[in-house]
């Protein structure tokens, strides 16, 4: 079974968020499920510098305005096809945004090109290579199913995985003439969306299957509150929409071997986390005193409920807790946390850069991770938190509700609690959850049990990779040989 995965970011080549983690870890997890998965991604500078030694497998005369090449190579266990197209991708900044903070004005073209190349691969652009399924991630790959649907019949199947419904890839109708789609594709059953074009909607409309990254979010997005205008489409094709929970790369995220931790530990030695906590406190310039240390590792946006946390911050400090924040995003939120470091010196610290190593140290040293999201398709930081004994304190929403078991009295009695959960979109509920967390933290025996339980929970890709493999098999009618049964 040959599957082509199409994604705009893939860890460890390039990452701005959870999409990269998933696009980087799922291929590895599918390896022993009889699936050969290659990943197509744009050749940003960070990618080109890493795939040194790749070979050119195709040359394209006109890749939306200038020539381009496809380079096949490997990196960190991943089979890659990289699009070398300097006119589209050789730029500073992150994959979507220029250094001035604005989206690149030609993003429509940069990601139409990504999708168009995927379709060309399906039609035989590279000799000897024909994927049977194209697995498209988020709006940047959303045009693939449209190219396949309206192009030369190829028998190839497409899956659209929605990681975040809020990013629709919406552009004006005027780009249509340059998308290389036939006129009939501009229709309700195609790329048209409210008079313009939405790449995400195109993918969700034209793909053979739509998946999203947790079962709960798959249900939520069928309602107006979370469907963000696409609930009608989803309800209309409900039998081909499913939620498959994300996992994490348990080798890259393992507190027993993690090179970013000054002190490694296991479930039996959670007390050793103390040394990491001390390092963290020093790094963020906080007071050295005891008491629970909360953390945030996140984009600072409305989605993540960071304004609610700012409202609850005074209460957190008055409870004797401290907070470290690693994240960047909306200016007013960054400013809010910076202001708080002055208001509560030694109690609140913020670092706004993107720092993968530091994110590991925080998970390995902080006591609890706060995730007050308003919506959360899956969320990965609560999974890293579980794995690292950094107890997740999460809103009851999306994938957060699927992965954390609230420490209510019944769950504590039954010995199943792994975190704290509260109603979304309420600063008061968040504060009450923080209060409950502090109380639990002060009961050392209960707390350690909860940490250990979280560390034992299965956050791996094993089960979910199997579900994707089954889906590929269902779509193609092919039998997949499962090496793991050998």
Residues that bind ligand GLC (CB under 6 A): 17-19, 22, 163-164, 213, 246, 376-380, 399
Which residues, in sequence order, are CB contacts of 466 under 8 Å at separation 6+?
A: 33
Smallest gap from Cβ 247 to ligand ADP, in A, equals 12
Q: Which is nearer to ligand GLC, 54 or 398 (CB)?
A: 398
Site string for ligand ADP, 202-221 (x = CB under 6 A): --------------------
Q: Binds 359, which of ligand GLC, ligand ADP, none (CB < 5 to 8 A, cut-off by type)?
A: ligand ADP
User: Which of 27-35, 111-119, 278-286, 297-305 is the region at the interface with ligand ADP (rule: CB under 6 A)?
Assistant: 297-305
Residue nearest to ligand ADP (CB): 18
Residue 394 per-residue DSSP state: E
- CA distance from start to end of the chain: 18
Q: Which is nearer to ligand GLC, 22 or 160 (CB)?
A: 22
Of 6, 41, 200, 380, the one binding ligand ADP (CB under 6 A) is 380
Distance CA 223, CA 234 (A): 9
Q: Which is nearer to ligand ADP, 12 or 196 (CB)?
A: 12
H/E stretch holding 421 reads: strand 420-422
Q: Binds 213, which of ligand ADP, ligand GLC, none (CB < 5 to 8 A, cut-off by type)?
A: ligand GLC
Length of the chain in terms of residues written? 486
Would you count residue 167 as binding ligand ADP (CB under 6 A)?
no
Q: Binds 326, which of ligand ADP, ligand GLC, none (CB < 5 to 8 A, cut-off by type)?
A: ligand ADP
Which residues, in sequence order, are CB contacts of 254 under 8 Å at separation 6+?
A: 387
Would you count residue 365 as binding ligand ADP (CB under 6 A)?
no
Smallest gap from Cβ 461 to ligand GLC, in A, equals 12
Q: Which sign does the torsion angle of CA 41, 44, 46, 48 carry?
A: positive
Q: Which is nearer to ligand ADP, 131 or 419 (CB)?
A: 419
Would you count residue 297 as binding ligand ADP (CB under 6 A)?
yes
Smallest gap from Cβ 189 to ligand ADP, in A, equals 30
H/E stretch holding 411 reads: helix 409-414
Would you count residue 354 as binding ligand ADP (CB under 6 A)?
yes
Would you count residue 18 as binding ligand ADP (CB under 6 A)?
yes
H/E stretch holding 349 reads: strand 348-351
Q: Binds 140, which of ligand GLC, ligand ADP, none (CB < 5 to 8 A, cut-off by type)?
A: none
Residue 406 per-residue DSSP state: B
Task: Give Cα separations from 246 to 86, 448, 451, 458 (angstroms).
Answer: 33, 26, 21, 11
Provide the edge-to-edge strand list for the sheet that holds 348-351. Answer: 348-351, 322-329, 293-300, 368-371, 391-395, 420-422
The SS3 call for residue 107 is: helix
User: Which of 54-62, 193-201, 294-302, 339-347 is the region at the interface with ligand ADP (rule: CB under 6 A)?
Assistant: 294-302
Distance CA 389, CA 368 (A): 8
Distance CA 323, CA 350 (A): 8
Distance CA 401, CA 422 (A): 10
Distance CA 255, CA 398 (A): 26
Helices 356-365 and 273-283 cross at an angle (nearest 10°) of 130
Distance CA 158, CA 320 (A): 52
Would you count residue 17 as binding ligand ADP (CB under 6 A)?
yes
Would you count residue 299 as binding ligand ADP (CB under 6 A)?
yes
Smallest gap from Cβ 229 to ligand GLC, in A, equals 17
Smallest gap from Cβ 263 to ligand GLC, in A, equals 28
Would you count residue 326 as binding ligand ADP (CB under 6 A)?
yes
Do residues 42 and 84 make contact, with C-beta atoms less than 8 angstroms apart?
Answer: no
Would you count residue 366 as binding ligand ADP (CB under 6 A)?
no
Smallest gap from Cβ 246 to ligand GLC, in A, equals 5
Q: Binds 372, which of ligand GLC, ligand ADP, none (CB < 5 to 8 A, cut-off by type)?
A: none
* Residues that bind ligand ADP in the complex, under the rule CB under 6 A: 17-19, 21, 297-299, 326-328, 354-356, 359, 378-381
């Amino acid at each position: 079974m040959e599957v082509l995965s199409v994604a705009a970011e893939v860890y460890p080549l390039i990452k701005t968020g959870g999409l990269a983690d998933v696009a980087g870890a799922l291929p590895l997890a599918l390896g022993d499920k009889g699936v050969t998965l290659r990943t197509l991604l744009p050749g940003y500078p960070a990618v080109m510098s890493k795939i040194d030694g790749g070979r050119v497998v195709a040359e394209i005369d006109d890749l939306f305005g200038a020539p381009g090449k496809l380079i096949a190579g490997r990196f960190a266990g991943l089979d890659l096809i990289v699009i070398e197209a300097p006119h589209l991708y050789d730029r500073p900044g992150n994959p979507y945004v220029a250094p001035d903070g604005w989206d690149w004005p030609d993003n429509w073209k940069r990601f139409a090109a990504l999708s168009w190349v995927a379709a060309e691969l399906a039609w035989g652009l590279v000799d000897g290579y024909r994927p049977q399924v194209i697995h498209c991630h988020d709006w940047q790959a959303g045009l693939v199913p449209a190219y396949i649907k309206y192009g030369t019949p190829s028998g190839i199947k497409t899956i659209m995985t929605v990681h975040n419904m809020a990013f629709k890839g919406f552009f004006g109708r005027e780009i249509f003439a340059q998308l290389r789609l036939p006129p009939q594709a501009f229709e309700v059953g195609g790329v048209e969306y409210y008079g313009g074009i939405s790449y995400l909607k195109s993918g969700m409309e034209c793909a053979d299957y739509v998946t999203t990254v947790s079962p709960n979010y798959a249900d939520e997005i069928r309602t107006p509150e979370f469907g963000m205008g696409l609930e009608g489409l989803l309800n209309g094709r409900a039998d081909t929409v499913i939620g498959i929970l994300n996992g994490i790369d348990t080798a890259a995220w393992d507190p027993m071997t993690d090179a970013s931790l000054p002190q490694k530990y296991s479930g039996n030695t959670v007390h050793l986390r103390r040394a990491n906590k001390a390092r963290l406190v020093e790094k963020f310039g906080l007071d050295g005193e005891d008491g629970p240390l909360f953390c945030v590792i996140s984009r600072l946006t409305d989605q993540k409920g960071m304004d609610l946390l700012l409202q609850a911050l005074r209460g957190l400090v008055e409870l004797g807790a401290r907070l470290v924040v690693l994240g960047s995003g909306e200016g007013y939120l960054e400013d809010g946390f910076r202001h708080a470091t002055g208001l509560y010196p030694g109690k609140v610290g913020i670092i706004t850069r993107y720092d993968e190593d530091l994110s590991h140290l925080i998970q390995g040293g902080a006591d609890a991770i706060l995730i007050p999201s308003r919506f959360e398709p899956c969320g990965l930081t609560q999974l890293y938190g579980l794995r690292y004994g950094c107890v997740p304190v999460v809103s009851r929403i999306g994938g957060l509700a699927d992965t954390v078991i609230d420490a209510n009295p019944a769950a504590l009695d039954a010995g199943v609690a792994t975190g704290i959960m509260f109603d979304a979109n309420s600063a008061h509920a968040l504060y009450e959850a923080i209060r409950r967390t502090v109380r639990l933290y002060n009961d050392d025996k209960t707390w350690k049990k909860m940490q250990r339980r979280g560390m034992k929970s299965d956050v791996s890709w094993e089960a979910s990779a199997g579900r994707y493999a089954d889906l590929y098999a269902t779509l193609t009618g092919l039998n997949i040989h499962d090496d793991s049964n050998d």
